[in-house]
Amino acid sequence: MCGIAGICNILSNELITEQKLSAMISMLYHRGPDGKGFYIGQNIGLGHARLSIIDLDTGSQPIHNEDKTVWVTFNGEIFNYIELRDELKKKGHDFYTSTDTEVIVHLYEEYGDDFVTYLNGQFAIGLWDTKRSKLILVRDRVGIVPLFYKQENGSLLFASEIKAILAVAKESPKLDPCSLDELMTFWAPVSPNTMFQDVYEVSPGQMLVLKNGQINKRRYWDWEFPLTNDEYNLENIDSLAEGLHELLVDATKIRLRSDVPVGAYLSGGLDSSVLTSLIHHYGNTPLRTFSIGFENQKLDESLYQKEMIDYLNADHSRITCSDSDIADNFEKTIWHTEMPVLRTAPVPMSMLSGLVHSQNYKVVLTGEGADEVLGGYDIFKEAKIRQFWARNPQSKFRPLLLKRLYPYLDLSKGQAYLQNFFGTAIQSPELLWFSHLPRWETTARCKDFFSDEMKAKLNKNDAISRIAQTFPSSMSKWHTFNRSQYIEAKSLMGGYLLSSQGDRALMSNSVEGRFPFLDHRVIEFANRIHPKHKMKVLNEKFLLKKAESQYVPENIINRYKQPYRAPDIPSFFGNNTSPEYVNALLSKSKISEYGYFEPDRVDRLVRKIKRGMAIGYKDNMSLVGILSTQIWHHTFIENNYENFGK
């Protein structure tokens, strides 16, 4: 991956200088340490920070077409570039590099704005058409690669990360209260919102076109599901499994295309095990794997990792994360995420990319996306049981099925409370977001700590109403399982897993992640598979297991799914001591000064933690959310990030 940035004058005549572009690009050094390049034309400036992966010698950007009338700054990978290049050459296009980037300008010449539909990849693109004075900003289908923009004084600023926009923006950054409200409900602001007022992201699958002083937005791709049973793929399950396997093999193979060595993450779960096995069996590169373990044995999956390493005879490197590692790296992590977090999980993921970098690898394949695409999450099981329960809300038997879930939780205790939690909205199973309501309501408990000032700034319509406005009108006709998949993909995956825990954690160490399960062909194929094949009774990712059973040991296929988690509160309050920044930012005076939270309540939470009495989810999420919001403010609003940029 790389970092991109640019300035486009819409109504302004302000001079665009290399110095200004350089100020933006320098904030993205971690995304592209191998070189930088600029293009400045009339009313346009494009910048690029390069991480060299394909065509190491001649691939400097921005890149242009034959007569230099189309220019592009590009972050990401076009995995089908070899096939596209061959087709474009046959149509008479001349290439001056061997890059995947160059296919973009020629595709645009050939197909206009529809060029994006030909791309199989992960990308953020800024394309300038000099003849038409037209800028296109476009992002990949699912949101793997970030792209942000801000309009200011008749200009549009865009960049891979918001910090590059802040570097040249005239307005001081401010927190968007609605975004914090959304983050403390869904784990991330609802796209296109960001934590920063008046800064937006180009949404996954969206294209922005700037021309004649107007910005037009259109969605060129979205997750779509059958409206009726007849629209599902009606082939038998063996054919479906074979089809899925073939697609996964190809999605993996094209993601191994690179001029530098490619590694893979191995967590010990089903998805990364399938992926590493496919690389082993179908790739032409030696299998090099990386994993993270935890000192806290409850969170550690080393035994399963070892089983796969032995099975595949992989060359493996591992790093262990301690509680103090979390606290030591948390501030810098928030500089990378650019948004608060409710769990500390991005920190170990950043350590893992650091391990990859230290071994001189720039690219890793990961299993992210399999749970959303193929039906792996517990929230899908929960929803299925709750739907079954909702058919007879008075039943004493039906909620007992909840005991089948979460064997790592002690369900023998407090069962009435668990039933109360999962019974949320049990009288309203028709709600489009029925599956996610228990999680959202639990997460929203963090907002009990909001100050009166903060509450007063929030819109009258709540976060759930706002996210509901982004759902497609056809959603009410989808199978309930597909609705859950859509919400999961668009909220937690797009907003958090691919961002704070994905791109940002990877790019913090100049490492590019590639995601075969998120190949759009895999998603489109999977979306037409009936939910009964994805989750057979309560057996998650059933079709994936069937498709890949001969490539993964039985123990891995049958193991209980363990969510990836990292230590939270103990990281910051272990041994009755806390790092200086934790004490300072959680002090009553700083909480009061920043104004987002109620100082007295936060103080009581901290005292409860110090007494060792905080064991619940609410306390954990609240502490991490409050602390990271305070760090976010200290870093971005008070402009304290000299120590983090290289």
Which of residues 134, 211, 403, 445 is near other proteins by CB under 8 A?
445
604 part of the interface to other proteins, by CB under 8 A: yes
**Least distance from C-beta 603 to other proteins, angstroms?**
8
Give the whole-angstrom CA distance, residue 590 versus residue 580: 13
Under the criterion CB under 8 A, does residue 393 sit at the interface with other proteins?
A: no
Angle between helices 617-632 and 599-610 (to 10 degrees): 120
Give the type of residue at 609. I
- Residues that contact other proteins, how many (by CB under 8 A): 26
Residue span binding other proteins (CB under 8 A) among the ranges 2-10, 17-25, 47-55, 411-419: 411-419
- By beta-carbon proximity to other proteins, the closer residue of 325 and 598 is 598
User: Which string of b and e fits 93-118 if b means at least 16 CB within 10 Å?
Assistant: bebeebbbbbbbbbbbbbeebebbeb
**Binding of other proteins by 407 (CB under 8 A):** no
Q: How far apart are CA 269 and CA 353, in angstroms?
A: 18
Tell me which residues in 315-334 interact with other proteins (CB under 8 A).
none
Asked whether 548 and 277 are in contact (CB, 8 A), the reply is yes
Is 446 one of the binding residues for other proteins (CB under 8 A)?
no
Does residue 453 bind other proteins (CB under 8 A)?
no
Choice from 15, 416, 456, 537 touching other proteins (CB under 8 A): 416
Task: Tell me how far, at minimum, the Cβ of 199 lies from other proteins, in Å.
Answer: 32
Asked if 415 touches other proteins (CB under 8 A), the answer is yes
Burial 338-364 (b: 16+ CB within 10 A, else e): bbbbbbbbbbbbbbbbbbbeeeebbbb
What is the DSSP-derived secondary structure letter of residue 450? Answer: B
Which phi-psi region, left, alpha or beta, contains residue 99 (left: φ > 0; alpha: ψ -120 to 50)?
beta
Q: 171 vs 600, which CB is nearer to other proteins? A: 600
How far is residue 545 CA from its own chain's centroid? 24
Least CB distance to other proteins at residue 441 (A) = 7
The DSSP H or E segment spanning 217 is strand 214-219
Query: Segment contacting other proteins (CB under 8 A): 65-73, 307-315, 323-331, 414-422?
Result: 414-422
The interface mask with other proteins, positions 616-645, x = CB under 8 A, is xxx---------------------------
2 is catalytic: yes
The closest of 176, 149, 172, 171 to 160, measured between CA atoms, is 149
Record the tokens describing residue 285, joined without a space: 């590169």
Give the list of residues 6+ apart from residue 190 with CB closer than 8 angstroms, or none. 182, 463, 466, 467, 470, 491, 495
| Residue 382, beta-bridge partner list | none
Q: Is 132 left (phi over 0), alpha (psi -120 to 50) or beta?
A: alpha
206-211, strands of its sheet edge to edge: 63-64, 70-78, 121-129, 134-139, 206-211, 214-219
**Is residue 608 involved in binding other proteins (CB under 8 A)?**
yes
Helix, strand, coil tally for the chain in percent (to 5) = 50, 15, 35
Contact 124, 4 (CB under 8 A): yes
Q: Which is nearer to other proteins, 403 or 559 (CB)?
A: 403
For the bound state, the minimum distance from the C-beta of residue 447 to other proteins, rounded and expressed in Å, comes to: 11
* Residue 448 contacts other proteins per CB under 8 A: yes
Decide: is 428 part of the binding site for other proteins (CB under 8 A).
Answer: no
User: In whole angstroms, how close is the CB of 252 to other proteins at the nearest point?
Assistant: 39
CB nearer other proteins, residue 203 or residue 620: 620
- Among positions 563-602, residues that touch other proteins (CB under 8 A) are 598, 600-602
**With respect to other proteins, which residue has the nearer C-beta, 26 or 587?**
587
Which string of x and - marks every residue 6-25 that binds other proteins (by CB under 8 A)?
--------------------
User: Which is nearer to other proteins, 117 or 395 (by Cβ)?
Assistant: 395
Tell whether the torsion through CA atoms of 352, 357, 358 and 360 is positive or negative.
positive
Find the binder of other proteins among 441, 458, 562, 595 (CB under 8 A): 441
Rounded to a whole number of angstroms, the minimum distance from the CB of residue 396 to other proteins is 13
Query: Does the protein bind other proteins through residue 417 (CB under 8 A)?
Result: yes
Q: Length of the chain in residues, anyone?
A: 646
> Which part of the chain contacts other proteins (CB under 8 A), choosing from 35-43, 180-188, 408-416, 487-495?
408-416
Residue 457 or 618: the one with the smaller Cβ distance to other proteins is: 618
- Listed ranges 97-105, 141-149, 293-301, 412-420: which one lies at the site for other proteins (CB under 8 A): 412-420
Q: Which two tokens stand for residue 288?
A: 């090099």
Q: What is the DSSP string of 177-206?
A: HHHHHHHHHHSSPPTTB-SBTT-EEPPTTE
Catalytic residue among 2, 8, 178, 321: 2
Residue 295 engages other proteins in binding (rule: CB under 8 A): no
Residues marked as catalytic? 2
Residues of this chain that interact with other proteins (CB under 8 A) are 412-418, 420-421, 441-442, 445, 448-449, 598, 600-602, 604-605, 608, 613, 615-618
